[in-house]
Each structure stands twice: as structure tokens, then as C-alpha cells.
Amino acid sequence: MASGFDYLGVLCKVVSGWSGTLTLTNTSTSVSSSVTPRPRSSALEVMLDFVREARRVHGVEVFFYVNSFVKVVFVIPGVTFNLSATGTTGTKLGLTSSATGVTSSHIFPDVIPNSAVPPYGARVRLPLVSKKKGDSLLAGGLGVKAGNARSGGSLILYGDLSTDFTLAGTLAAGGVYDFAIPRTNDATNITTLSRFMLSSVGVGSWGRLGSMGRVRCAIQGVSE
């Protein structure tokens, strides 16, 4: 299906100010699907929701990925379609102009704001669930404190030292980010999204070449 594509990890900041809708129309059937982003979201979250809704409504293969220029590539093999956005949604996704009568795929005109694509990949380590032990019980066991414990982890972005310091400077401002590898899987078409808060950022070298660097981030798992 899509084995010829190179899928890259994408880091997108969760920001406020989303408004409007993102709409897809199949020109052959005149059937449309759309999503309305939450007021606070990320480009990754919006596109994943958009793809799921498009698959449900149109019943065809739909997926997206982000290329090395940090632009969304939207794909519906063999289908002619229109894409449009209202409110701030288009600007926040890089879809600054509508697409009309395109077939199979469309590259959004502009880069995704507040986003990065590490050229040599990334590594995310974040526990899915963490629990704190509670007080001792009369029966001799331990209870469980209400709620999840904070789950800390790490994010490493591999790139070039010449650009890593700029990226680290941007990430040093902190905030909440989503990370995913948008792709299609020949069996399941599943993309997993991780959401976390950045707490510290550093830059170091890696590999035998002195020009290669990595941005190390301490992260804290969050749900919103």
C-alpha cells in the first residue's frame, strides 16, 4: 500500500486559539467529512482526528504524513478531492489555501507552525501508567493512592549540531507537545500519539562525526 514512503517523527506544540473546521469532499460522490478542533490542540491531534473521520465517512484508504520540510502530505490513493479550512485551523496546519480537484495526494502549502521534524529520528521514553503506593492497611497490604503518579521520561531528537542549538532554544521555552510518527501500516493503519510537557533541554554530540548532534529533553507525561 504505502511501503514506498519514508515516515518521520514529528514534534508539534499544543497551543490555544484553534477555531473553524477542516473539510474534505470526495468530488466523485459529493460526500464531505469534517472535524472541528478543540480550542487547545496540536496539528498532529487535529490531523489524526481528521483522518479517522474521513475513513469512517468515505470508507476508503486515507492517511497523512509530514515530510522533511515540515509540511503535511495528505493522501487518498486514486481519489479526487477538495480540501478547505475555516477559522484559524488552516493557518495552524499549514493549509493556507484550499485544494480543489486534486487526485491522490496534496502537500499543504506552508510548514506546520510550532513544529519540528528531527532529520535522523527521535527516541521517546515515557511510562504509560504509574501508580503510587498508599498507606499500610490493617490486613498488612498496601493501598493505592487515588490518581496516577507523575510519569517522567526522556525525549531525544537526533540532528545536526548546526541546527540543534536553534531547536533547543525554541524548546527551552517549555510547553506541552505531541509526538507521533504519522504513517500507514499495511495491516492496521495505526498511529500512536504521545503528549508530554518539556521540563529541561540540553544539546550534545553523537556518532563519530563531530557535526551530528542530539537535543535531550526531560519530559513529563500529561493528558491535556
Shared domain check, 123 and 65: no
Kindly state whether residue 112 falls inside one of the protein's structural domains: no
Return the pLDDT at 128.
Answer: 54
Cα–Cα distance between 98 and 82 in angstroms, integer?
7
Kindly state whether residue 145 falls inside one of the protein's structural domains: yes
Kindly state whether residue 93 falls inside one of the protein's structural domains: yes
Return the pLDDT at 150.
Answer: 56
Q: Which amino acid is at 60?
A: V
Kindly state whether residue 172 falls inside one of the protein's structural domains: yes
Kindly state whether residue 98 falls inside one of the protein's structural domains: yes
Cα–Cα distance between 124 and 173 in angstroms, integer?
19
Cα–Cα distance between 203 and 180 in angstroms, integer?
21
Of 101, 102, 105, 81, nearest to 33 (Cα)? 81
Residue where a domain stops, chosen among 84, 107, 130:
107
Cα–Cα distance between 95 and 7 in angstroms, integer?
20
Residue 171's domain comprises 118-221
Report the 10 Å Cβ neighbour count for 188. Answer: 7
Residue 100 has φ and ψ, to the nearest 5°, of: -125, 125
CB-based contacts of 17: which residues, under 8 Å, 6+ apart? 39, 88, 92
Kindly state whether residue 45 falls inside one of the protein's structural domains: yes
Kindly state whether residue 1 falls inside one of the protein's structural domains: no
Kindly state whether residue 201 falls inside one of the protein's structural domains: yes
Shared domain check, 143 and 100: no
Mean of the per-residue pLDDT values for the chain? 85
Cα–Cα distance between 219 and 102 in angstroms, integer?
40
How many domains does the chain contain in total?
2
115 burial type by CB count under 10 A (0-12 exposed, 13-18 middle, 19+ buried): buried
Residues 89-127 have pLDDT tens digits of 999 999 999 999 999 999 999 999 999 999 888 888 876
Spans of the chain, pLDDT less than 70: 1-7, 127-151, 184-190
Shared domain check, 204 and 144: yes
Shared domain check, 130 and 39: no
Residue where a domain stops, chosen among 77, 107, 137:
107
Residue where a domain stops, chosen among 76, 107, 138:
107
